[in-house]
Amino acid sequence: MSIVTVPVVRLPHAAERDLPEYATSHAAGVDLAAAIDTPVTLEPGKRALIPTGIAIALPPDHEAQVRPRSGLAAKHGVTVLNAPGTIDADYRGEIQVILINFGDLAFTVEPNMRIAQLIVAPVSRIRWQLADTLVESARGDRGFGSTGLDKLVCK
């Protein structure tokens, strides 16, 4: 396991809040908490931008990914709308989470509630190599369920 040092600033509205932590010793991401003072209720089908109260400075060859928490998704239908949300190494603003309620009931985000996970990962840069053809593969150009679904129906 490698360790990446990431400078972090607690923003004024989160000065007394804890920094994100790993919930277990083998967790892949730290839990992001809602840096809000009053509850925010998400009605079914609605979304909200929830602040976390922190800003970070990633190393140039890294990104951070904001991912849903499985418990919120499974129990309440609440997830991160643009999952995974990407935080680029040159972004210095507050990390905020776009939550959406796909559930059937209203869901209330409470102050300090863990709402998402943040994972820091290395980034590879692309150098395009223009080609007339691509090397053949067993799969070829079959996609959208070709490796396990008999029929894909999009409506």
Among 35-49, 70-84, 139-153, the range scoring the smallest mean pLDDT is 139-153
CB 7 within 8 A of CB 57: yes
Tally of structural domains, the chain:
1
Burial class (CB in 10 A: 0-12, 13-18, 19+), 68: buried
pLDDT tens profile 102-113: 999 999 999 999
Q: Is residue 132 part of a domain?
A: no
CA angle (72, 55, 93) in 5-degree steps: 100
**What is the predicted pLDDT for the residue at 68?**
97
CB 38 within 8 A of CB 83: no
**What is the predicted pLDDT for the residue at 49?**
98
pLDDT tens profile 26-64: 999 999 999 999 999 999 999 999 999 999 999 999 999
**What is the predicted pLDDT for the residue at 32?**
98
CB 88 within 8 A of CB 63: yes
Average pLDDT, the chain: 94
pLDDT band at 149, cuts 50/70/90?
low
Q: Is residue 81 part of a domain?
A: yes
Q: Is residue 140 part of a domain?
A: no
Q: Is residue 134 part of a domain?
A: no
Q: Is residue 110 part of a domain?
A: yes
Q: Is residue 65 part of a domain?
A: yes
Q: Round to whole Å and give the CA distance between 30 and 21.
A: 5
* Domain span at 16: 8-122
CATH code of the domain covering residue 32: 2.70.40.10
Q: Is residue 86 part of a domain?
A: yes
- Write the single-letter amino acid at 119: I
SS (H, E, C) the chain: CCCCCCCEEECHHHCCCCCCEECCCCCCCEEEECCCCCCEEECCCCEEEEEEEEEECCCCCEEEEEECCHHHHHHHCEEECCCCEEECCCCCCEEEEEEEECCCCCEEECCCCEEEEEEEEECCCCCCCCCCCCCCCCCCCCCCCCCCCCCCCCC
Summarize the confidence of residues 15-32 as an average pLDDT.
95
Summarize the confidence of residues 62-89 as an average pLDDT.
97
Q: Is residue 152 part of a domain?
A: no
**What is the predicted pLDDT for the residue at 24?**
95
What percent of the chain shows pLDDT beyond 70?
Answer: 94
Q: Round to whole Å and give the CA distance between 132 and 97.
A: 42
